[in-house]
Structure 1
Amino acid sequence: MSLNTHISTLEQRHSALDHEIAEALAAKPAMSDTEIKEMKRRKLKLKEEIERLRKSSH
């Protein structure tokens, strides 16, 4: 898998998590705070990985 493909895949996963978090916050009853925090943590890790890969490709 090329670096650009990998970054694109991570960006898609990041976007999907963002959408999932938004849905969870709007849901009635909402997900637990712990579950939402875990999703946000995973989203941040993806963002950090994307940034790290972009920097290493330059």
Structure 2
Amino acid sequence: MTTTSHLNALERRHASLDEQIHQEMQRPALNELRIGELKRKKLELKDEMSKLQGQTRQ
């Protein structure tokens, strides 16, 4: 897998997590634990994407 295709896959997963967070926030009974977990995963993906973007610029 090339760096670009890996980065694209991470971006899709990041967008998917964003949508899941949005859906959880719309529920009448918020599941704070689930939302926190999704946000943590989203942040981890963002960190990984930043690292990959830094590698492609070198």
State TM-score, norm by structure 2: 0.92
Q: Once the 2 structures are TM-superposed, how far is the Cα of residue 46 of structure 1 from its aligned partner?
A: 0.3
CA deviation profile, 1:21-41 (whole Å, cap 9, x unmatched):
0001002333x2111101000
Question: Which residue of 1 is the match for residue 51 of structure 2?
Answer: 52
Q: Distance in 1 between matches of 2:34 and 2:22?
A: 13
5+ residue gaps, structure 2, are none
Q: Distance in 2 between matches of 1:2 and 1:12?
A: 15
CA deviation profile, 1:7-34 (whole Å, cap 9, x unmatched):
000000000000000001002333x211
Question: Which residue of 2 is the match for residue 40 of structure 1?
Answer: 39
Give 3-state SS (helix, strand or coil) of 1:28's partner.
coil
Where does 1:4-23 land on structure 2 (aligned, <5 Å)? 4-23=4-23
Q: Distance in 1 between matches of 2:33 and 2:9?
A: 26
- Point out 4+ residue stretches in structure 1 off by more than 6 angstroms: none
Identity, % of aligned positions: 33
5+ residue gaps, structure 1, are none
Instruction: Kindly tell me the number of residue pairs found equivalent between the two proteins.
Output: 57
State TM-score, norm by structure 1: 0.92
